[in-house]
Each structure stands twice: as C-alpha cells, then as structure tokens.
C-alpha cells in the first residue's frame, strides 16, 4: 500500500504566529512600527544624525526648525534633532539591559522558588519583599546621590528594583506548572531539576515575562528621563531626552521646540511599547487568542 505524498504547508513557528497576531491588531501594528522606528534609529544613530550632537555652534543658537536644523538648535547651538536621535540610544541603553537583566535574574530565582523546597521559597520571597519595600524613585535617588550619576548606576538601580516583579510572576507560573502531568511524568523518569526548569517550564513562562517586559520599558525610559531632568542621570553633555526637557523647560519662553523635542519621543515610546505589550498579551494568552 502506497501513501500519496501530500504537500502540506509547514506549521508556523511560534514567533511567526505572534508577529501575525500583532500585525492583525491595528494598535499592535502601530506599536510595532513605533518601537521598530525607535530601535532602528537608535542602532543607526551614528549614520542618521546630520551633526555632532555635542558640538557647540554659538552663532546658530536658539534657532527654530529649518531645513538645516529639523528641530532647531538649543542654547549652545547644538542640533536638537541629532540630540533626540542619540538620546534614543541612551534611553535604550538603559531600558533594554536593565529590563532583560532583571527578567533573566528574576526568572531564574522565581523558578527556583516555585520548584525548590519551602524554606528556599520563603527565603527568596523575603528577599523580593525587602527590595520592593523601597520606592523605586527614592531608591534611585539615594543610590545616585551616594555613587554619583552615570549610565551604569541607572541600569543597576532599575535592574535591582525590577527583579522582584519578574521573580514573583515566574514563581506563580512555576507553582501552577509543577503539578502538571508532563512535569510529573518527567520527574517519574528521573529528570533533573535543571532539565525540568530549563526544557519544560521555561518555554511556558517566558512568554508572560516578555509581555511584562514590553510594558515595563516605558517606565524605565521615563525614570531615566526623570533622573536626567533632575541632573542625576547621564552626565552632560551626553544627549538625553530628560536633559532636553530640562533645557527646554528653562528656555520655554524663548522657544518651545526644546520641550517638544524632549517630550514627544518619551510620549511616543510610552505609547509604542504599551500598544505592543497589550497586543502581545492578547496573542500570547491562550484564552484571549481563542477569541481573536
């Protein structure tokens, strides 16, 4: 008996399904476009900027938008458009390492807490509660005041304060999965803890944390901008959206362009990552996916 060959299409990868689901959602597609534009402009900032973002040109100071300077110039004659583009790179240099570092550490500790012995779970929960007892902004101000303002300091502060959030979510997901039939089958066959967590639990947890990370990135960008606005973020003359807002606020009576140039990217980044995160949540959640 011969079996006729059938040309069945290959099943889509999980990433392809997620991208397709996001693109079907108008807000998700808008968020994907905004986030993609911000990320690409940050990666290619060196080739996009028409001027050196820290080069002063006093004779061209406080100019309005023109073909030569798309967003005008600041009080030192620096091109505002170039500083906005490079400021996006600074924002992502803080947000992406801090969020993904916190997600990696929180995921590891959360799975260990949910799958390990009770005493270890209690110890890690005490660690999470201790960190979360400090307000993020106050903790950031205290650390920056002690160590000094720098890009690395902001990354470490954000990473440390975000670990408990991802750890608690990972722990909850692990507790839900630990008594599942496929986990019990693996344990009965003598599978090690590292294999159970890394091969079977991790793929079922990472999607939820990825959605949470997309929703947290705007908060980190706003925190970095706030610290820079207060003079506690990146050191001058490094371009930052918060520094642009600070300069624009001081000179708002002379020109509104600096405030617009500093505030608009923060608003767009917040909307883009929020729309993308909401759409990802709808696609990743199996219950919501059935209703789409």
- CA of 258: how far to CAs of 38, 60, 64, 88, 268, in Å? 19, 15, 10, 15, 16
First-to-last C-alpha distance (Å) of the chain? 42
Predicted local confidence at residue 13, as pLDDT: 57
- Whole-prediction pTM value? 0.80
For residue 64, what are the contacts with CB-CB under 8 A and spacing of at least 6? Answer: 72, 255, 257
Q: What percent of the chain is modeled with pLDDT above 70?
A: 92
pLDDT band at residue 3 using 50, 70 and 90 as cut-offs: very low
pLDDT band at residue 100 using 50, 70 and 90 as cut-offs: very high
For residue 75, what are the contacts with CB-CB under 8 A and spacing of at least 6? Answer: 61, 62, 247, 251
Q: Which of 36-50, 177-191, 206-220 has the highest mean pLDDT?
A: 36-50
Q: Is the predicted pLDDT of residue 9 greater than 50, yes or no?
A: no
**What residue ranges do the domains of the chain occupy?**
76-285
Q: Is 150 helix (H, G, I), strand (E, B) or coil?
A: coil
Predicted local confidence at residue 62, as pLDDT: 86
Is residue 244 a contact partner of residue 80, using CB atoms and an 8 Å limit? yes
- CA of 86: how far to CAs of 14, 23, 82, 277, in Å? 34, 28, 6, 24
Predicted local confidence at residue 152, as pLDDT: 84
Distance CA 113, CA 209 (A): 16
Decide yes or no: CATH 1.10.620.20 for domain 76-285.
no
Predicted local confidence at residue 83, as pLDDT: 92
Considering the chain, what is the average pLDDT of its residues?
Answer: 83
């Amino acid at each position: 008996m011969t079996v006729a060959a059938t040309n069945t299409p290959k099943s889509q990868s999980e990433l392809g399904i997620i991208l397709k689901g996001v693109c079907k959602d108008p807000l998700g597609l808008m968020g994907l476009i905004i986030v993609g534009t911000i990320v690409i402009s940050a990666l290619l900032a060196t080739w996009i900027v028409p001027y050196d973002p820290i080069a002063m040109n006093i004779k061209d100071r406080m100019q309005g938008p023109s073909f030569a300077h798309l967003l005008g110039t600041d009080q030192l004659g620096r091109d505002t458009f170039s500083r906005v583009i490079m400021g996006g790179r600074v924002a992502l240099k803080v947000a992406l390492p801090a969020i993904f570092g916190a997600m990696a550490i929180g995921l590891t500790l959360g799975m260990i807490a949910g799958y390990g012995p009770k005493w270890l779970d209690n110890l890690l929960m005490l660690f999470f509660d201790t960190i979360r007892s400090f307000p993020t902004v106050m903790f950031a101000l205290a650390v920056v005041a002690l160590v000094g303002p720098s890009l690395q300091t902001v990354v470490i502060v954000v990473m440390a304060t975000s670990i408990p959030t991802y750890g608690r979510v990972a722990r909850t997901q692990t507790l839900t999965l630990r008594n599942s039939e496929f986990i019990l089958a693996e344990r009965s066959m003598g599978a090690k803890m590292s294999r159970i967590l890394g091969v079977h639990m991790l793929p079922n947890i990472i999607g939820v944390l990825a959605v949470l990370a997309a929703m947290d990135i705007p908060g980190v960008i706003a925190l970095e901008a706030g610290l820079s606005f207060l003079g506690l973020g990146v050191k001058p003359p490094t371009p930052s959206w918060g520094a642009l807002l600070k300069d624009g606020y001081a000179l708002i009576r002379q020109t509104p362009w600096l405030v617009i140039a500093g505030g608009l990217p923060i608003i767009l980044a917040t909307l883009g990552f929020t729309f993308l995160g909401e759409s990802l949540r709808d696609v990743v959640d199996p219950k919501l996916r059935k209703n789409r």
